[in-house]
Structure formats: C-alpha cells, structure tokens
Chain A
Amino acid sequence: MAEFTKQDIGKLLAKQGILIAFAVFIVGFTIANPKFLTIDNFENVVRSSAILGVMALGVTFVVISGNLDLSVGSMMSFSTIVVLDLHDKLGPTLAIPAMFAMTLCLGAFIGILVGYLKLNSLIVTLGMLSAIHGLTLTYSGGKNIDIADKEGTWFAIFGQGNVMGIQTPILIFIALAALLGIILAKTPFGRKVYAVGGNGTAATFSGIRRARVVFLCYIMSAFCVATAGLIQASRSMGSQNTVGQGLELEVLAAVILGGASLLGGSGTIFKTVIGVLILGFIQNGLLLVGLDFSVQYVVTWVIIILAVWLDIAAKRGKLMSPIA
C-alpha cells in the first residue's frame, strides 16, 4: 500500500468534500439540538425547500447545458404577483394559465438571447434579474397584491393543501423532480442537453441544433419558476414585489452543491434534489441552534464558494493550482 500523500487527501476532499462537510454539519447540529434529526423536522425541511427546489430543477437544465440563470428569483416574484393579481380579475382557472404563458414568454426571451444570439448567459440573466424586477413593479404599481376573498377560493390547494397527509408543495416538488429527471436522463432532448454543455462544438458537428437546445432549457427553467410562483402565491395568498429576491443564488448553490459542474455537461436531477436538501438542512440547522436568520445570507455565500472551489478542485485533481 502506498502511503497517503497530501495529494491523496486533497483528491478525497475534492471528490467527497460536500458529503464530508454535510456529515460534520449533521453531527454538529444533532448534538447542539436533538430535534434536528426527527421526522417532523425532515418534513419541515422538505416543505420549506420545495419552492427553492422546484426552481432548482429547471436551473439544473440550464447549468448542464453550460449556461447560467440568475433571473429566476425576480422571475418568481413576477409570477407570484401576476397570478395573485389575475386571480381576482379573471378567477383562478384563467389566472394560472395566463401567468404560465407570461412567464414562459420571459423564458423564451432569455432563450432567444442566449441560445440564438449566443450572448453570454451571465450578462443576459443578470440584466433580466433587474429588468424583470422593474417589470413586476410596473405591473403592480409597487403595491403588495392580496387575494381579496381568501376563504372563497380553491386557489390555496397548491400551497396549503395536502394529499393523504403529505403537503402539496412537497408532492409537486417530487412529481416535477420525477418528470424532469426522466426527461433529462431518458429522452433524446436530455441527451442533447448533456452534449451541448459537455462540448458545444462537438454537438454542433453532430448535427445538434445547439441554439434550440439552449432555448428549450430556458423554457424549462421558466416553467419551473412559474410553478414555484404558483406555490408561493397559493401559500401566502398575498405577496410583496420582492418575494423571490435573492433566491437565484440559493438555487444556484443547491444545483452546484448537488454536483452539477458550472462548466456544463454534468449533473443530474437527483443530485440537484440532494443539493436542495443539503442546503435546506444546513439553513434549518442554523435556525435550530439559534443563529439569527440574517446569518443565513452569509452562510449561503460561504457554501456557494466552498462548492465552487471543490468543483474546480475536483476537475484539476488538487485543491490549489497555479493555473486554472
């Protein structure tokens, strides 16, 4: 047996670092507060992660195709505000499809810019982050939107209902994860997403219409955002314009934590679900040990940085390197 060198340890950390760190967190939190490791708390974590999780499913497609989507947070605010506003004007039966259509239009717009015009996705979606926020404010006139008759509508089922004791947000998350997981892993489209993100040039040389694939990834992402907005609106029955603010980074953190590479070409829906749960457990654990909510912002950032570092380190096989 060869001796363990520093490099071996580095490699192990790089490969399994997230899981090791997660295990340390779990042990630490459980010692600090025995409530952490209970079924009740588990359900609590999944429910509170469902909205973030649904968005992360869509962003997983975008990231695997080699792009970024930083617009999902403000797009989710938009969906929530629009569906709440239209609920009282059109009734829920029309409000929901109308909101989905509008959100998909935003996704299509980003898809055209990034896919067909080949603009940098970071710039496009960062710009869309603030542009959509402006759109939402214009739409609402800056006011909070509330459903007038909260008791007299079935609209609450998406956020507050339950089927056989399981809450609907959890069910929607699981169902959508299963559906998108199958699309990504089993269909020709999914295969093409991996090819485009893994080597876009080779994908083009194989006759794959890369622009179309990227476009469809943003459509997927927008669809997930609209679903998340629906859950959010239904849960709160009223909302501020900034309800999704900052979620884009948490979503990205979850996707990267799950192990999707920021460079594209790798990742799975299952891994993203794991990433969402890890992030949820860490945030929940921090609350249970009595850390202030505001600390989460810092911790989320630390986790993103850690995840990105380990992602790069795994690629080059060691933790630090003079060249990228």
Chain B
Amino acid sequence: MTDETPVLRLEGIVKTFPGVRALDGVSLSILPGEVHALMGENGAGKSTLMKVLGGIHQPDEGQIIVEEKPVVMSGPLDAKAKGIVFIHQELSLADELSVAENIYLGELPRKRFGLVDWAELEAKTKAILEKLKVSFNAKTRVGDLSIANQQMVEIARALTVDAKAVIFDEPTASLTDAEKVVLFEVISDLQEQGVGIAYISHRMEEIFKITDRISVLRDGQYQGTVNTAETDEEGVTQMMIGRKLDLSRNESHHELGDVALEVRGLSCGDLFQDVSFEVRRGEVVGFYGLVGAGRTEIAETLFGLRDPTAGTILMDGEEVRIHSPYDAIERGISLVPEDRKGQGLVLGMNCRDNMTLPQVDDLKAGPFVAEGAEIAIFDQYRDKLDIRTPGWKQLVGNLSGGNQQKIVIGKWLSMHPNVLIVDEPTRGIDVGSKAEIHNLLRELAAQGYAVIVISSEMPEVLHVADRIVAMYSGRIMRTFTSEEVTEENLIAAISGLETEKVA
C-alpha cells in the first residue's frame, strides 16, 4: 500500500467474555482519506470491536494506536476527544432541542454568568452545516427533521472536533435511496479532507460503490484486508462465511408429514405484504433476509402480537384467528423470540419457573402449582438440552447466553407445540452452543415438529433448513429448496436483486 501514516491502527486486539472469545487478535489500519469497509456476519465481532474502540470495553490484549501514538480509550467522549468519532445506526438526539443545541450538547458556548452564547452557537453551527451542504438551519427542531437529516446532525456533531477517523455503523439502514446519495457525498467530502472512514455495512452494493478497502472478521478473528477493486461479492462472501463445515446442508432427510401451518396472502401494514408459505410437520423452513425485511414481524403476527391487515392463517387446514399469544399457545404455536432477555425470560426468576411459565395454569395440584411436576419438566429438558446450571433454583440472569437460550427453547418444547418458531436462535451465543442448537432443531423436525427458523446468518439457514424463504423489504422474493440454494442466489434474493426474475 502507500506509505501514509494510518490515522487509526489496531494491533492484536483480544477481548473475551465468559465463555466467548469475541475478538481474537484483530489488527487493522485505517489510512487518511480512505473508506475502509468492515464486514462480517452477525456475531463476527464487529460491534465488540467498535465498543473496544469507543472505550466501552477495554481490550484484554492489544493496542489502539491513533496517529502512531498508543492510546487508552476510557469512553466514547474520550475517543471523540482523541479524534475518533462514531455515527451509530441508532440515533441519539434530543428531539425537542434545536439542531445547534444538539450539535453542541454538553459543550454549548457560554457567556458571563454561565448563560448560553446563542450568537456564537449559531455561527459555529452554521459553519459546520455549510460544510455538509444541508438544507436545514441551526434553529430547526431536530424532531421535525427526516431520519436522514437527523443523521446529518449526528455527522455534524462528529465534525465539531478535529475528527481523524469517523466510524459509520450501518448508516444506511433507515435511509431512502435519495438520502443515501447525500450521505455518500458527505462521506466523500470527509474523505477529501483526509479523514479516515470506517464503514460497517451488510449491503454489498454500497460496499463496492464507496469503499477503497475491505477488512473481514469471522468469529472474532481477522480474516484479512483486500482492495475493493481487486475483489468481488463472491470473494468477500467467501471470506465472511469461510467455514466449509457450516455450509454442509442437513443430510437427515426424513419423511415430511401434513401441512401444519399455511399462510395465504398475509399482510401487516407497511411491515410485510402478501406473504404466503406453508410448513409441514417434520420440516424446517428458514426465513432469511436483512434486518428489517419483515421476518420477525411475520413471526409476531403468527404469535398474535400483531393483527394482520389482510390474509389468512390456516392450521391443519383450518382457518384460525390469533389475537394474542394466549390464543397462539392454545393453537399450539410457540415462539422463541429474538430478544432473549427482553422477551424470552424473566431474568429475576429461577430456571424452573421460567421454563414452566406458559403452562403454569395446567400444572396444578388442587389450587396450587404442582412443584413436583415442574421440577420433573425442568429435569427432563435440562438433560435433553444439556442445560448447565447448578440447579433449578439458579436465577436465569446468572446463566450464560447459550444456557439461557436453551431455557427458552425448553420452555416451548415442553409445551409440545404443533409449530415451533425460533427467531435468531443463536444470536450472541458461542460457536459450541450454536452447533448444539442447530442439531437440536434438526432433531425436533425429525420428531415431527413443524419448525420455522428466522435467521440473519446464512450458514445457519443453510445448515438447518429444508427450504429457505428469502425476504426483502417486507416481501417474499423466492423460496429455495435445499438443492437449489447457493450463497449467490440467496444473497441476490435478499438484496432485492432478483425482483423481476422471480417475483
């Protein structure tokens, strides 16, 4: 490469959490004036790396080097003071304050008696906004701006310091195409000013449009850096997925039973439209797509958490109406939700009580909860799922992520559902437990359960699913059998590239 001094360099960063080696010797450097993509599957360690950079986590080993000086980041403000600025996917702005106030929040210029120097504030803000060529002014209320413009405010905030490197985390997740163009212009302006840009995104087309180099992480390990011009989508995908092992399709082809669940033309407002599919007993159907493609919302609708605006749901050929999770459970639908801690578990409750919660009304001895029956259920699923806990009295909040997830899965298996929906079953779970959960899902199908797996990880859907439903922006683009699917056609489908060909 060039002989320029990197604005930001990482050397051998290691970060471990109990049971997980989240970052395993990651090194990379960002040069002034380049756009450097950071890619990897969910769980590859990108967000942990960002947290280490921002001083939210301290690395166990390795160094952060800003302009050839080793530094210790004590927090996001410290990082900003050192010229490393983050633009997060989720905006952190005060809606009720003006653009200027948001940009200088916490460091408003002062006059005598501690009063805000409004004239100075407006002048400084104006200078920054001019640099960004935006259409709004300093006094606009932030809540009145579009999401894209709010993001501009975040970027403006970054520019109040002499930024050396700006890190964008999925900046286009909620932008329209026109808004993206504006964002890319700003990025290229920053580039011209010699700022180093780190750009995290899953979207291949953006990566190839605006970045100079691509670095890839996989399972916390640095896979290498390539020049964007010298590679293609396939090459990057190969680096991201890597493990041939996980691409192995499921081989246990067992007999499929009757259709357990059929969905016809289901829509829910803007979230998803005209979704039709069926799941047979003994079959695992994978739902794959980008975050926001509408997969979770479909699961939530099937589970009675949302009311569909159109379409029908049939179970065993009979039309059903599901208005609440209570109804769904009565019909034999179970959902292992996406957000384990927020939706799946009562963290302050013990393992047994969490596991038997949905059926506590049925486990009765006289008017009381039959604790013996509860313990029997817990013991059965602890053994079956190999849940490692000192005993049922252990609070669920004290278990590791993998064991917590198994408690949630056990909770729903013990209900003997007709249809089991699992949403991101291995998010935030270490590699070993991942494989166990994958095998478990296959086994469940073999036992005759109808299983729906929603996942953002390609190896996962390839590994566990008999059929894969690819979604893009609220619609089903294509349904693949495990024979037809390839990484390329799957990526094309979830990126919306195959719209005309198959829809």
A residues sitting closer than 8 Å to B (CB atoms) are 182, 186-188, 191-192, 194-195, 198-199, 201-209, 265-266
A194 pairs with B349, CB closer than 8 A = yes
A195 touches B326 (CB 8 A): no
B305, B325, B347: the one within 8 Å of A206 (CB): B325
Q: Determine the residue in chain B with the shortest Cβ distance to A209.
A: B326
Query: Interface centre among B324, B348, B358, B363, by most A CB within 10 Å?
Result: B348
Query: In this assembly, does B148 line the interface, its C-beta being within 8 Å of a C-beta of chain A?
Result: no
Query: Looking at B328, B344, B360, B411, which has the most chain A CB atoms within 10 Å of its CB?
Result: B360
Within 8 Å by CB of A202, from B344, B361, B368, B369, lies B344
Q: Report the interface size class on chain B.
A: 20 to 34
Residue of A nearest to B326 (CB): A207
A186 contacts B369, C-beta separation under 8 Å: yes
Within the complex, what minimum Cβ distance (angstroms) separates B229 from chain A?
46
The 8 Å CB contact of A187, one of B347, B358, B368, is: B368
Q: A186-B368, A198-B349, A205-B305 given; name 15 further pairs at CB < 8 Å.
A: A187-B368, A188-B364, A188-B369, A191-B369, A192-B360, A198-B346, A198-B348, A199-B342, A201-B343, A204-B305, A205-B337, A206-B357, A207-B326, A207-B329, A208-B326
Contacts A/B (CB < 8 Å), 21 sampled = A186-B369, A188-B360, A188-B363, A188-B364, A194-B349, A195-B346, A199-B345, A201-B342, A202-B343, A203-B346, A205-B335, A205-B337, A205-B343, A205-B344, A206-B325, A206-B358, A207-B325, A207-B328, A207-B329, A208-B326, A209-B324
Which parts of B196-250 form the interface with A (CB within 8 Å)? none
Contact residues in B for A208 (Cβ distance below 8 Å): 326, 357-358
Q: Nearest 3 pairs between A and B by C-beta?
A: A198-B346, A207-B329, A199-B346
List, in ascending order, chain A residues with CB within 8 A of B325's CB: 204-207
Task: Check if B360 sits within 8 Å of A265, measured CB to CB.
Answer: no
- B283 contacts chain A at the CB level, 8 A cutoff: no
Contact partners of A199 in chain B: CB under 8 A: 342, 345-348
Q: Specify which of A194, A206, A265 lies most central, judged by the most chain B CB atoms within 10 Å of its CB.
A: A206
Q: CB-CB < 8 A to B305: which residues of A?
A: 204-205
Whole-angstrom distance between the Cβ of B99 and the nearest chain A Cβ: 26
- In the complex, what's the smallest C-beta–C-beta distance from B501 to chain A, in angstroms? 38
- The residues of A that contact B345 with a CB separation of less than 8 Å are 199, 202
Report Cα–Cα, A97/B368, bound state, in Å: 27
As a 0/1 sequence over residues 325 to 366 of chain B, the CB contacts with chain A under 8 angstroms (1 = contact) are: 110110000010100001111111100010001101101100
Given contacts A199-B346, A203-B346, contact A191 B368 (CB under 8 A): no
- Say whether B357 contacts A203, CB under 8 Å: yes
Count contacts between A and B, CB distance < 8 Å.
69
Query: B114 within 8 Å of A by Cβ?
Result: no
- Residue of B at shortest CB range from A205? B343
Give chain A nearest CB distance to B369 CB in angstroms.
6
Contact in complex: B329, A195 (CB < 8 Å): no
Q: Does B367 contact A (CB under 8 A)?
A: yes
Report whether A191 and B357 are in contact in the complex, using a CB–CB cutoff of 8 Å. yes
Query: Please, which residue of chain B has its CB at the minimum distance from the CB of A195?
Result: B346
A207-B347 in contact given A188-B364, A188-B369, A202-B342 (Cβ < 8 Å)? no
Find the B residue at minimum CB distance from A198. Answer: B346
Most buried by A among B344, B346, B347, B363: B346
| Nearest residue, chain A, Cβ from B333 | A207
A289 to B367 CA separation, bound complex (whole angstroms): 48
Question: Once bound together, how far apart are the Cα atoms of A191 and B303, in whole Å?
Answer: 22
Chain B's closest residue to A182 (CB) is B368
Would A194 and B346 count as touching, CB distance under 8 A?
yes
From A186, A192, A206, A266, give the contact of B348 (CB < 8 A): A266
CB of A199, distance to nearest CB on chain B (Å) = 4
Tell me how far the C-beta of B413 lies from the nearest C-beta in chain A, rounded to whole angstroms: 14
**A266 contacts which chain B residues (CB < 8 A)?**
348
Chain B residue nearest to A266 (CB atoms) is B348
Most buried by B among A188, A202, A207, A208: A207
Residue of A nearest to B353 (CB): A191
A265 B346 Cβ-Cβ under 8 A: yes
Given contacts A206-B357, A208-B357, contact A187 B369 (CB under 8 A): yes
Query: Looking at B324, B329, B344, B349, which has the most chain A CB atoms within 10 Å of its CB?
Result: B349
Residues of chain B within 8 A of A209, CB atoms compared = 324, 326
Contact residues in A for B329 (Cβ distance below 8 Å)? 207
